[in-house]
Amino acid sequence: MQAKINKVELRNLEFEDYKQLKNSMVESYPAMADSYWRVEHIEKLLEIFPEGQLVILVDGKVVGSALSLIVDEKLVDKKHNYLQIVGDYTFSTHNKNGEILYGIDVFIHPNYRGLRLGRRLYDARKELCEQLNLKAIVFAGRIPNYAQHAKKLSPKNYIDKVKHKELHDPVLSFQLSNDFHVIRIMKNYLEGDEASMEFAVLLEWNNVYYDESPKLINLDKSIIRIGLIQWQMRQLNNIEALFEQSEFFIDVVSGYGSDFALFPELFIAPLMADYNHLSEAEAIRELARHSDPIRKRFQEFAISYNINIITGSMPYMENGNLYNVGFLCKRDGTSEMYRKIHITPNEVQHWGMKGGSEIKTFDTDCGKIGILICYDVEFPEVSRIMSDEGMNILFVPFLTDTQNAYIRVKHCAQARAIENECYVAIAGCVGNLPKVNNMDIQYAQAAVFTPSDFAFPSNGIKAEATPNTEMTLIVDVDLDLLKDIHEHGSVRILKDRRHDLYQVKKLNS
């Protein structure tokens, strides 16, 4: 990553974006003269199909775009070139009643490649295809490395080698990794594309939800995928070793399409080994120096892997006070801090920690969530307030040394899921940690708990990890089931409360 990124935004293109769009496009296609959209072209596209024109912004700057038309399936089946598909830039081929979303351009500014921003544009196109109930996405992809191999390989041979990963093509390899399949080779497709020798590959992604009826797919996301990391405590040589191990797990859970990754409480404790010659209170304050660098790196991971990361917790110094905090690093590049409110006697006695003073929920692209650190989940008032603010999923990073301590967290978390009619996900550290005082042993079993009713597992446990073993747990939760239980459950805990007799509310709001 070249520079610190504060915010990533994907939205529909607006006419006011044109100047930035043009500048980024010129830098994206340096080998192709005049390779940018004219202002009248953008104006026309926004007039006929505004929802099909997408842009990625980084800190307010347009750094990528994906432009599309809707065309008839018969047009795609015919032999065609680029000028024909765009109607010689009149876009007369666009038909709102067509069956195919045809991609006419996609690019990412060179300075922002490697962050998987192109994947976001492709995913957004797929969502649009589903929402508009179109049959497929089709486009003709360039093969810019082909000229280097043209003397020895035909286009067909070249494509086969790219498909089998014997060769890499920066465009085709990426498209194939995004579930597009080859339909046929297009000759003389884009005039002036010398790198591809004017060949292109017609690619297709099929919409499995396509229905010949005009019914649209529900726009609200119901199924949320959660990736829990059950972290093995191990000696680490430095902070880069921590980042390497963390990125491995983030890569794993994001590779399975997870919307969230949850790390445990104080999983960075192995870095405290360098300070074991100090008192416990001094050592953890030295560890706190790593918290800001860790937040920044996890923000980068959230962007690069397109996943919301809950960073467990870590010590944090502020105004001379030591807190137990974590960060919600969102995939749009922003982050928010949460603090442990209730501090255990051990944390006070050995480390001199103080509790936070704010109860809050967090807005995400998957709805409203809550985060409580370990001991906090044993106080039902806090999560009840979060539930009243609309929380659907409660995340609980924890650290427990013994099995009986874990049982407290587990059963309280299950109770929170039942009484607040929400999902509760917990993740902790496992194993032993020599050479770090006050962190000798850990016991954990990551899990996702549910309300207790017919739509959910009979024991209220959606999934559990193997106890005391390093692993990931990937779980889907359905938010629509929560909506149903709120109104039609066997019992309706949230609706049946006696507000005339008792209330739970914030005192500092």
- State the catalytic residues: 265, 340, 374
Q: Please name which of 358, 363, 408 lies closest in space to residue 385, comparing C-alpha atoms.
A: 358
C-alpha atoms less than 13 angstroms from C-alpha of 314 in its C-beta half-sphere: 26
- What are residue 327's DSSP bridge partners? 337
Count of beta carbons in the 10 Å neighbourhood of residue 286: 14
End-to-end CA distance of the chain: give it in Å, rounded: 39
Beta strand 8-12 pairing with 321-329:
unpaired
302 vs 5: CA distance, rounded Å: 11
Strand ranges for 109-262 from DSSP E: 136-142, 181-186, 200-206, 223-232, 260-262
For 385, phi then psi, to 5°, come to -65, -40
| Length, in residues, of the chain | 509
Q: Please name which of 96, 82, 90, 106 lies closest in space to residue 44, comparing C-alpha atoms.
A: 90
Question: What amino acid occupies position 412?
Answer: C
Q: Please name which of 21, 119, 108, 104 lies closest in space to residue 64, comparing C-alpha atoms.
A: 108
327 vs 371: CA distance, rounded Å: 10
SS3 272: helix
Count of beta carbons in the 10 Å neighbourhood of residue 227: 26
228 vs 208: CA distance, rounded Å: 29
C-alpha atoms less than 13 angstroms from C-alpha of 350 in its C-beta half-sphere: 13
Q: Please name which of 166, 1, 190 lies closest in space to residue 80, comparing C-alpha atoms.
A: 190
Task: Say if CB 129 and CB 49 are below 8 A apart.
Answer: no
89 vs 73: CA distance, rounded Å: 19
Q: Show the CA angle centred on residue 253, arms to residues 250 and 259, nearest 5°.
A: 95
Task: List for the chain the helix, strand, coil content (%; round to 5).
Answer: 35, 25, 40
